[in-house]
Structure 1
């Protein structure tokens, strides 16, 4: 059984991209799981996209979703919101119902709005009927990290595209959890 998990993100300065790549590493550490890295169209272009632009078909056909955006005033980026506003056809068909999903974010400061941004990214996923996964408090790093990481999902702080060891590990663990749940969900559907 092959599992494809879409790691969909928007990144302006590289931190969210770095998290996406760590989540992908976690996903691909689980046998038969593939991470498909994609981005969204930039509504305020600032250069060539780092990854291919996602299509609605790729979203419809994925077995799970990791969704990431930098913090923009405590919210997801305008480009990411614009993409989700285009997903009405998938919503009408119920194409994403019961698929597992998680969220991740980056901010330039510790109190920049990470958790509210993660919550705003969860809202369209809930409307689509997806199952939201976070990082449970049974994960010891949540109790000791001095940088990113929340029970809502993976995160990073600071302007640098370099992640701390804790941020990398928490992102990988979130990717592994998403992959394991995606496998279980696909087995139920078979």
Structure 2
């Protein structure tokens, strides 16, 4: 049995920092599991102005994802703010460029989870999670959600779903992550890592 650490990719897009904060809590949950390491990565912004380009290296925060990160990961947590009940264009743009990995089965059989933050409490949290699941299913990934054995799912008033971790950031993006949302994000990261570990042991 291989005893080396497993890398779990936490891939997110964050415009104002709320989704990034959720990514950090998910990474905390991943790293609470022995032999599991979180690798935080982001994607460049996209623009309706064709000439606009992003620097090759982000000015701060997580590095940009590379396709090699998909090959090297044992699991994936995918996060995006909601855009009209859907994932942000930047994340969709990256996923649209993974056709070669889809054909080769790079992600097939690996566990995945999803997370989001929204400006309004009922602004598409669950539909955004569902839209992020669809390309992961096409990639042959095994989706991991949050079971109702997690007590915060029954008490939260600020986000959280059996489909994944969520956060209500408010219209100005300044709402802090609530204690319930924080616990659910950590729990999701932990469950994802534990699942990756179990699957790794059976291969």
**TM-score above 0.5, yes or no:** yes
Q: Which residue of 1 aligns with 2:74?
A: 63
Q: Give the alignment partner of residue 108 of structure 2, picking from 74, 97, 111.
A: 97
1:15 aligns with 2:18: yes
The one-character-per-residue Cα deviations of 1:132-154 (angstroms, maximum 9, x if unpaired) are 01101121110011111001000
Q: What is the aligned partner in structure 2 of residue 3 from structure 1?
A: 6
Give the corresponding residue for 1:134.
145
Give unmatched runs, 5+ long, in structure 2: 48-53
Aligned to 2:51: none
Alpha-carbon distance in 1 for matches of 2:70, 2:174: 29
Aligned-partner Cα distance in 2 for 1:85–1:49: 25
Residue 136 (structure 2) aligned to one of 125, 130, 133: 125
Q: What secondary structure sits across from 1:71 in the alignment?
A: strand
Specify the alignment match of 2:186 in structure 1. 172
Deviates more, 1:118-127 or 1:48-57: 48-57
- Structure label with greater radius of gyration: 2
Distance (whole Å) between structure 2 residues aligned to residue 120 and residue 12 of structure 1: 19
Q: Residue 162 of structure 1: CA displacement?
A: 2.1
Q: SS state of the match for residue 20, structure 1?
A: helix
Q: Which runs of 4+ in 1 moved over 2 A?
A: 44-50
- After TM superposition, the score normalised by the length of structure 1 is 0.96
Q: Which moved more, 1:152-161 or 1:63-72?
A: 152-161
Matches of 1:143 and 1:112, distance apart in 2: 20
Alpha-carbon RMSD across the aligned residues, in angstroms, is 1.4
CA deviations 1:44-90 (Å, max 9, x no partner) are: 35983521000011112100000000000000000000000000010
Distance in 2 between the 1:38 and 1:161 partners? 23
Aligned residues: 189
Alpha-carbon distance in 1 for matches of 2:118, 2:94: 21
In the alignment, structure 1 segments of 5+ residues that lack a partner are none
**Structure-2 separation of matches of 1:12 and 1:51:** 13
**Distance (whole Å) between structure 2 residues aligned to residue 161 and residue 43 of structure 1:** 25
Which residue does the alignment assign to 1:153? 164
The corresponding residue for 1:82 is 93
**Correspondence 1:185 to 2:199:** yes
> 1:55 and 1:49 mapped to 2: Cα distance?
17
Is residue 32 from structure 1 mapped to residue 35 from structure 2 by the alignment? yes
Match in the other structure for 1:54? 65
